[in-house]
Chain A
């Protein structure tokens, strides 16, 4: 059986009527998969259902042969970790405090941590070069550092399935590369990863599988080359000014967009 299996997933938002219609897909163990699609396609909704934030869906989701509807909050947190795009916390905590929260599923509601928990957190602080910043307030960090702290927290959860919502948003090129390296390393350690992405080329470069959503439906899922074809992109994104080609360095399929200059004869 596949590591992640989503079968006949249906869900409707009560407030605006947006629907997910009969979503089916699978992800193999150790794969990096991407949910892509236009704004409002339902990517974030699917990811929130998978990580247990939205619970009143119909259909079945198996993670490592366990139906997630039958798992308690703590059991879910041990199997699936989620890294949101935006951190919505109101009160500030230190880097170390935030990372420790990833050990909550193994600890208790008072937060008494074992020596093992402390060692795991310390090793991660060292691994991600955060040891000197461990007492720094999270809100004071740069966007890239924040993302890395949240990834460290997700690794603390020791789950085999990690979901990241737009992990590279707001990051400069250096931090993008750093983050992709981390993702590849996690994959190397046998973790299964699902990314919610807008950047199709990034999905093509680092993902084993693409799941293309539009209007709450899965249009296609599979290998990059199978999904990325000209007509599909044209119909779904409603654009014309693009070409599909190969990245000259990696030889992966990419989309090249060209912007038409509307003000003819203008200096720009």
Chain B
């Protein structure tokens, strides 16, 4: 218990430190003195202020929020699906968002977020409805239908981008996860969403622990299994729909971060959820900073970086665990 709280505190301070460190980094390096004087002084309306407040700060904050949210949905889905390979995209909801986003891009909409959110919710309802048997969610069906729906929708996205190939690059960049279009107007709504979702994920967190023992055992320990499954499926789907609509498909965080945190803090969701939030936020923050600063003046989609770092770290952890 004590160790877990210490671990969470350390993670929190590393995240805060990284926040201040990454705000300096970019195509022009800005010192802390300059940052502070620019932000505090209301009268100055310079480029530095614009870069900090309108470009870097939204991007940094949103990468923390989205990384954390994706990791939380990973923890939830791994527990309710009883599958260590589950990630936020396994239920096909992200492909639903991808379809909406590509239609939006091809149709030339200036903002594709709403359309992506709508199509991902429709996909969620479809997958949920099909996997119901006798009014109960069948977990195996949910997994299979999720994966199959996902690849079907991805094929449609591919078809669309093959037909309308002038938008191919845009669609591809979106599919690989992209935080470059983060605006300051998203910060408030994402922060409120995050607070609500985090609280909601916490309310039944102990039942989530018990559910991961298996549905039958959970029932005999007094858990309302069908309700908890539905509750967390709906919650994780909302998280995925929200994140993917904002930032595209950023892979590996939802799969890898929960496992890394399980390694350090154990499987108790009451600690694993906050730890994964902090870890996911930190991981996406660092990945995005690399994505926007490695190939200056250009940048690469952050999904590439998360995959390049995430996979080796994960394999390293598995190898290390084998020795124990």
State which residues 45-60 of A face B: CB under 8 Å.
48, 51-53, 56
Q: In the bound complex, do residue B206 and residue A157 qualify as a contact, i.e. CB atoms below 8 Å apart?
A: no
Contacts of A51 in B (CB 8 A): 220
A107 with B206: in contact, given A53-B219, A88-B217, A90-B84 (CB under 8 Å)?
yes
- A82 touches B (CB below 8 Å): yes
Secondary structure of the A contact surface, majority rule: loop
- B112 touches A (CB below 8 Å): no
Q: In the bound complex, do residue A53 and residue B213 qualify as a contact, i.e. CB atoms below 8 Å apart?
A: no
Q: Which of B210, B212, B216 contacts A48 (CB 8 A)?
A: B216
Contacts of A72 in B (CB 8 A): 224
How far does the alpha carbon of A263 sit from the alpha carbon of B317 in the complex, in Å? 53
Q: In the bound complex, do residue B270 and residue A111 qualify as a contact, i.e. CB atoms below 8 Å apart?
A: yes
Binds B, one of A92-100, A124-132, A168-176, A224-232: A92-100
Q: In the bound complex, do residue B267 and residue A104 qualify as a contact, i.e. CB atoms below 8 Å apart?
A: no
How far does the alpha carbon of A84 sit from the alpha carbon of B216 in the complex, in Å? 9
Q: What 0/1 pattern do residues 184 to 208 of B give for CB contact below 8 A with A?
A: 0000000000000000001111110
A53 with B216: in contact, given A101-B210, A111-B205, A111-B206 (CB under 8 Å)?
yes
Contacts of B214 in A (CB 8 A): 88-89
Q: In the bound complex, do residue B220 and residue A101 qualify as a contact, i.e. CB atoms below 8 Å apart?
A: no
Contacts of B221 in A (CB 8 A): 77, 101-102, 104-105, 157
- B183 touches A (CB below 8 Å): no
Q: Residues of B within 8 Å of A, CB-based: how many?
A: 31
| Chain B, Cβ-Cβ closest to A110 | B206
Q: What 0/1 pattern do residues 129 to 162 of B give for CB contact below 8 A with A?
A: 0000010000000000000000000000000000
How far does the alpha carbon of A102 sit from the alpha carbon of B220 in the complex, in Å? 9
Q: Could you say which of B202, B222, B262 has the most chain A C-beta atoms within 10 Å of its C-beta? A: B222
Contacts of A73 in B (CB 8 A): 219, 222-225
Q: In the bound complex, do residue B212 and residue A90 qualify as a contact, i.e. CB atoms below 8 Å apart?
A: yes
How far does the alpha carbon of A32 sit from the alpha carbon of B115 in the complex, in Å? 62
Contacts of B225 in A (CB 8 A): 73
Contacts of B134 in A (CB 8 A): 56
Q: In the bound complex, do residue A110 and residue B220 qualify as a contact, i.e. CB atoms below 8 Å apart?
A: no
| Chain A, Cβ-Cβ closest to B222 | A77
Q: How far is the CB of B52 from chain A (nearest CB, A)?
A: 39
Contacts of A157 in B (CB 8 A): 221
How far does the alpha carbon of A241 sit from the alpha carbon of B205 in the complex, in Å? 55
Q: Which of B78, B82, B219, B266 contacts A93 (CB 8 A)?
A: B266
Q: Which of B84, B207, B216, B267 contacts A109 (CB 8 A)?
A: B207
Q: Which of B82, B202, B204, B222 contacts A78 (CB 8 A)?
A: B222
Pairs A–B under 8 Å by Cβ, sample size 17: A52-B219, A53-B219, A76-B222, A77-B221, A77-B222, A80-B220, A87-B213, A88-B217, A89-B213, A91-B78, A97-B209, A101-B209, A101-B213, A102-B221, A104-B221, A104-B222, A110-B202
- Interface residues, chain A, with chain B CB atoms under 8 Å away: 48, 51-53, 56, 72-74, 76-78, 80-82, 84, 87-94, 97, 101-102, 104-105, 107-111, 157
